[in-house]
């Protein structure tokens, strides 16, 4: 699914968070939105997902303004797993509630899904509180992929993970995007992760899209703000 975001504005209690963001998300590619903390990345992601609504501007999904958000799924920054449900119930949450399949059938599908993410079946009946940070992220990714989305939204996928687990999650994301041929939109400030998983890059600062580029050109940019951001300088 190709997504065109045109001139998006969003205010919260008088504070201008997005001030005319324009960007294009190509079909079946991984688009990364870089930016400092608090620059409006998460708000933009939720607006594209239609979890919140913009004050001004248009978003077109395959040239249409209306879209069935059931074609989307999201990996939340801290997983957002349901504490009161077991791992398998988290992964198959939507299917269980929509009575899509028999429970045994769903359990088999969940096991397949878990195996593809490197999760062993002994985690099946565990609660999220019994899992490590990396495992929680993988379960959350499993939940996001279980509904076979056309577009996956990744909100800081490597936040809070050690380098090994970050790498693992990055590899899973790359593998998933390629194998399942889905469009991915990632917001992050983890440059390493962005380079590993992205095809196209946008840099957002002060609620405005500063630049878009491919991975090869990212470090050759003449944009001062992006250069400082990439080097971690003020």
Partner 1 sequence: MLLFELIGNFFIEAVRSIGKISYFMFLIFKYLFFPRFYINSNFNYLIKILLSSIPIVALTAIFSGMVLTLQSYTGFSRFSAETAIPKIVVLTLTRELGPVLAGLMVAGRVGASIAAEIATMRVTEQIDALKTLNTNFYNYLVTPRVIALVIIMPLLVTFADIIGVYGGYLISTLRLGFNETIYISNTINFISFEDYFSGMVKSIVFGFIIAIMSCYHGLYTGKGSFGVGSATTNAVVSSSVLILVFNYILTEVFF
Footprint on this chain of partner 1 (rule: CB under 8 A): 46, 49, 51, 69-70, 72-74, 76-78, 80-83, 93-94, 97-98, 143-144, 147
- CA 201 from chain centre, in angstroms, equals 14
By beta-carbon proximity to partner 1, the closer residue of 70 and 105 is 70
Q: Which of 58/69 has CB closer to partner 1? A: 69
Q: Which of 177, 144, 124, 168 is nearest to 49 (CA)?
A: 144
Cβ nearer to partner 1, comparing 39 with 144 = 144
Task: Give 49 or 202: the residue with its C-beta nearer to partner 1.
Answer: 49
CB of 77 to partner 1, least distance (A): 7
**Nearest-approach distance from CB 205 to partner 1, in angstroms:** 23
- Closer CB to partner 1, 33 or 218, in the complex: 33
Long-range contacts of 78-82 (CB under 8 A, 24+ apart): 78/136, 78/159, 78/160, 79/128, 79/136, 79/137, 79/139, 79/140, 80/140, 81/128, 81/136, 81/139, 81/140, 81/143, 82/128
C-alpha 91 chain-centroid distance: 16
Which residues on adjacent β-strands are paired with residue 4?
24, 60
- Is residue 54 within 8 A of residue 18, CB to CB? The reply is yes
Minimum distance, C-beta of residue 136 to partner 1, in the bound complex (Å): 11
CB of 155 to partner 1, least distance (A): 8
Min separation Cβ 72 and partner 1, Å: 7
Q: Which residues pair with 18 in a beta bridge?
A: 10
């Amino acid at each position: 699914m190709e997504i065109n975001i045109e001139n998006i504005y969003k205010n919260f209690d008088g504070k201008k968070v997005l001030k005319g963001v324009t960007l294009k998300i190509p079909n079946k590619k991984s688009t990364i939105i870089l930016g400092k903390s608090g620059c409006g990345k998460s708000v933009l992601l939720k607006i594209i997902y239609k979890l919140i609504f913009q004050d001004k501007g248009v978003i077109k999904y395959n040239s249409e303004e209306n879209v069935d958000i059931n074609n989307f799924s999201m990996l939340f920054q801290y997983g957002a797993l349901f504490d009161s449900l077991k791992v398998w119930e988290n992964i198959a949450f939507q299917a269980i509630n929509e009575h899509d399949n028999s429970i045994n059938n769903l359990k088999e599908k969940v096991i397949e899904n878990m195996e593809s993410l490197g999760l062993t079946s002994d985690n099946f009946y565990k609660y999220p509180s019994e899992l490590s940070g990396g495992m929680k992220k993988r379960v959350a990714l499993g939940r996001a992929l279980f509904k076979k989305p056309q577009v996956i939204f990744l909100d800081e996928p490597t936040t809070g993970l050690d380098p090994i687990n970050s790498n693992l999650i990055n590899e899973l994301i790359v593998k998933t995007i390629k194998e399942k041929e889905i469009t991915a939109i990632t917001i992050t400030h983890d440059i390493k992760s962005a380079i590993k998983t992205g095809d196209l890059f946008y840099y957002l600062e002060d609620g405005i899209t500063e630049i878009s580029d491919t991975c090869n050109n990212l470090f050759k940019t003449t944009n001062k703000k992006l250069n400082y951001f990439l080097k971690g300088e003020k």
